[in-house]
Amino acid sequence: MQVKDSHELLAKLKGIDISQPPVVLVSGSDPSIFDHTEDFIRSQLLKHEAVELTLLTGEQNDAAVLVAEAFNLPLFSPYRLFIVKNAEPIFRYILSNERSPEQQNFSNLPERTMLALYFEGEPTKAMLKLFGDRLIHLQTKNLYADNMEEAIRRAAMHLRLELTEEALLEIRERVPPREGAVQDALKRLKEMHTKNHAVTLEEVRDILFPKAGWDMFRLVDACFTGDIYTFSREMMKFSPPEDNFLALLKQLLNRTDELRRYRICRALNLSPEETLATFGLKN
């Protein structure tokens, strides 16, 4: 069975008979989706089971271990979960001419035995055929711009996280165009955002894309607008020797002088053109 995205994959998993579980294969360029799927299986789907976990990461003997143990069900065995983080050597081993038909028939796994694999790339028909009708397969792909916005809105709704339009656009432009990256970014926003209003553009920048050192213009703006929150957050980014208080004082003095000249122009009722000329600017 082919599913279109991680939401459909998790929905399918919620409805399975865990005594006769499917084989889950996540493929493509988004390993974060497999990490989320693994977390769901372990913390939600099998939370009431005593689970014997076998974690395979693509080491030399992993394929032989999987073939030997997956079909060998010990008496009184707990629920068995095989997590394969790198399925490429597993497929190469199983599809070898040296393997018997029985060793290639992963559609016939024992009861209470679940297999989840991640394969970086696009699996061949021969790979998919190994699992027969037990397979649930998600092929991850990079998102286009319109799909990216939809993925952000859907993930935000799932997390009950409200975003301003400016914040949403910033995420769309700066987060890698992958479903897993979007989910990771919004989960971090959810964890760090403690206020009772929608996540703003500034909060997205502070939490997801923190800049090393001061943003001098933001610091000066916050000082003159009385924004204590932004000023404090920016001061905490102090990174010597790039940042120094002498440069900050100079920027504060420059801004003070600009305000002084603006007020003089207002008091003299100068035209906008004359005011701009006072600042050395042209309209």
Mean pLDDT of 24-38: 95
Give kind and range of the element (H or E) at residue 80.
Answer: strand 79-84
What average pLDDT does range 56-66 have in this prediction? 90
Confidence of residue 280 (pLDDT cuts 50, 70, 90): low
Q: Taking residues 20-38, report their average pLDDT.
A: 95
Retrieve residue 12's tokens.
């399918």
Q: What percent of the chain has pLDDT over 70?
A: 97
Q: What is the CA radius of gyration of the chain?
A: 28
At residue 276, the pLDDT reads 75
Please list, in sequence order, all residues whose beta carbon lies within 8 angstroms of the beta carbon of residue 205, skipping any fewer than 6 positions away: 170, 211
Question: Does position 283 have pLDDT exceeding 60, yes or no?
Answer: no
Question: What is the per-residue pLDDT across 108-163, written as a single tens digit (0 to 9) for each?
Answer: 898 999 999 999 999 999 999 999 999 999 999 999 877 899 999 999 999 999 99
Q: Residue 241, preceding bond cis, omega within 30 degrees?
A: yes
- Take residue 256 and report the two structure tokens written for it: 């003070």
Percent of the chain having pLDDT more than 90? 54
Distance CA(26)–CA(47), nearest Å, equals 21
Over residues 198-225, the mean pLDDT reads 84
What secondary structure does DSSP assign to 194-227, as a single string?
-SSSPBPHHHHHHHHSPPSS--HHHHHHHHHHT-
Tell me how far apart the alpha carbons of residues 204 and 190 are, in angstroms, rounded to a whole number: 11
**Looking at residue 163, what is its pLDDT?**
95
134: DSSP letter: G
Instruction: Band the pLDDT of 279: cuts 50, 70, 90.
Output: low
Q: What is the rounded distance in angstroms from the CA atom of residue 161 to the CA atom of residue 55? A: 33
pLDDT bin (cut points 50, 70, 90) of residue 102 is: confident
Section 196-214 average pLDDT: 85
pLDDT over 90 at 202, yes or no: no
**pLDDT for 32:** 93
Q: What is the DSSP string of 28-52?
A: ES-HHHHHHHHHHIIIIITTTS-EE
In terms of Cα–Cα distance, which of 4, 29, 40, 3 is closest to 116? Answer: 40
Contact 180, 33 (CB under 8 A): yes
- Report the chain's mean pLDDT, rounded to a whole number: 89
What are residue 119's DSSP bridge partners?
Answer: 27
- 29 CB burial (10 A radius; 0-12, 13-18, 19+): middle
CA angle 23/27/29 to nearest 5° reads 155
**β-sheet with 51-56: strand ranges across:** 2-3, 135-140, 23-28, 113-119, 79-84, 51-56
Residue 281 has pLDDT above 60, yes or no: no
The pair phi, psi for residue 30, each rounded to 5°, is -125, 80
Question: Residue 129 corresponds to which tokens in the numbers above?
Answer: 């055929």
The pLDDT of residue 71: 86
| Higher pLDDT among residues 81 and 206, named by residue | 81
- Burial letters 195-230, b for 16+ CB under 10 A, else e: eeebbbbbbbbbebeeeeebeeebbbebbeeebeeb
Banded pLDDT at 15 (limits 50, 70, 90): very high
Model confidence over 261-274: pLDDT tens digits?
A: 888 888 888 888 88
Q: How confident is the model at residue 195 (pLDDT cuts 50, 70, 90)?
A: confident
